[in-house]
Amino acid sequence: MTGAEGSFAGAVADFETAVRARDAHASGGAFGRLQEMFQTADDGELAAVAPRLAALAPEVPLGPRSVVAVVVGAAVERGADPAACAPNVLAGLGEALAAAEEFTARWAATGGGDLPDPQRTNPEDAVFDRVGQPATEAWWTLPQWEMAAVAVLNHKAVRQAVPDRSALIDAAERLGDATGGGLKYLRYMLAVLDDEPLVVLHRPTGTGYRLRISGLGDNFQLHTLLAAELVGGGHLPGEAPAAPAAAVCRDASPGTPAPDTTGSFDLAAADGTVIWNEGIPADIPPVDGVRVLVLDPPSYVRSWPAGRLFAGMPGEVALEAVLPPAEAAAWLARTSERPAAEVG
């Protein structure tokens, strides 16, 4: 052990030494101590040491690297520098997604059947023999990679700097389809829009608004903040969400009590397609390069717990301009009403 025995910094130093010496036995022991010391490390120690651990990650095999990534992600949640820690976490995520896709292809090619659930089972020797170790380890560590990636992607600067983000989104979507809807949090987080223009049209009043949105995890959050901005701001009729409900959708500390909020609108795309509250802002299709959302009167009373899908990610809906009447009318003329039977 190092002179910093009994500390998280010392455990990281021991792990670095063992990994770089390619000493598998020492690496295993040092990694166990690292995880143990993490539990008692204070935030200042994590902030100082987590970037070193993130820098070491590429030298660790993909399977155990997923646990390193989880530790780094947890350190970021406790104040470590996300910009320094995120790149290697996200690079590992890309490798894991590619190897997990290889797992699904080999699984199909060697007999198919239901894919094993990495959340509920442990790989058996027969699975390793059938598919191969790297791909199997990647498949079984997808939950850890999702957890670590979401932790660092809570930060806007990290999201805006992700290389090959579209490739990660596509891979996560394909794996989500293969697993019957898995990787939801990763898929939603990768699709988060930042500094995104949004034209909002209120059909009953014929008015229109230009807004900018960032950091919204789902359309429940978008709906709540739209009502807070437009109804609460006196632009549209109705009852605005209570101030605590809006605050927890913006940046109130996780766990802050807030009342349920009641929907103010039905949401639709310009072509009349329903925009579901359960979906995400990226579901809103663009028209001439800008996303357009139409607000109709609520077709029934619907309430939900106010809050953020990603508690560590602040959300923002900012009104930039009220559209002149002629411009709002021109936008509305390009929209279609949705079938009366459909509700959002």
The pLDDT tens digits for 149-206 are 999 999 999 999 998 899 999 999 999 998 888 899 999 999 999 999 999 999 999 9
pTM: 0.92
Contact 198, 291 (CB under 8 A): yes
Domain boundary among 167, 190, 213: 190
Tell whether 124 and 145 lie within a shared domain.
yes
Give the CA angle between residues 182, 134, 130 to the nearest 5°.
85
311 and 286 together in one domain: yes
**CA–CA gap between residue 224 and residue 207 (Å, rounded):** 19
User: Does residue 118 lie in a domain region?
Assistant: yes
Look at residue 94 and tell me if it is in a domain: yes
CA nearest to 181, candidates 95, 268, 266, 278: 278
Q: How confident is the model at residue 12 (pLDDT cuts 50, 70, 90)?
A: very high
Domain assignment present for 35: no
Is the confidence at residue 34, as pLDDT, over 70? Answer: yes
Q: Are 58 and 133 in contact (CB under 8 A)?
A: no
* 259 and 323 Cβ atoms separated by less than 8 Å: no
Total number of domains constituting the chain: 2
| φ/ψ of residue 176, rounded to 5 | -60, -40
What sign for the dihedral angle of Cα 141, 146, 147, 151? Answer: positive
Does 305 fall in a domain?
A: yes
Closest CA to 67 of 173, 6, 145: 145
Question: Tokens representing 25?
Answer: 């036995």
Model confidence band, residue 269 (pLDDT cutoffs 50, 70, 90): very high
Domain shared by 70 and 108, yes or no:
yes
Q: How confident is the model at residue 288 (pLDDT cuts 50, 70, 90)?
A: very high
| 204/311 same-domain check | yes
Whether 217 and 211 have beta carbons less than 8 Å apart is answered as no
Residue at a domain's end among 190, 209, 241: 190
What is the rounded distance in angstroms from the CA atom of residue 76 to the CA atom of residue 215?
A: 17
CA–CA distance from 30 to each of 6, 21, 23, 122, 263 (Å)? 12, 12, 10, 23, 52
- Looking at the structure, do residues 316 and 209 belong to the same domain, yes or no? yes
| Residue at 341 is within a domain | no
Say if residue 208 is in the same domain as residue 156.
Answer: no
Token match 């036995």: residue?
Answer: 25
Domain end, chosen from 130, 155, 190, is at 190
Instruction: Report yes or no on 131 lying in a domain.
Output: yes
Residue 340 has pLDDT above 60, yes or no: no
217 close to 308: Cβ distance less than 8 angstroms: yes
Is residue 188 within 8 Å of 130, Cβ to Cβ? no
The residue segments making up the domain with residue 114 are 42-190
In this structure, the answer to whether residues 157 and 224 fall within a common structural domain is no
User: In which band, very low, low, confident or very high, does the pLDDT at 14 lie, cut at 50, 70 and 90?
Assistant: very high
220 and 238 both lie in a single domain: yes
Q: Are residues 215 and 157 in the same domain?
A: no
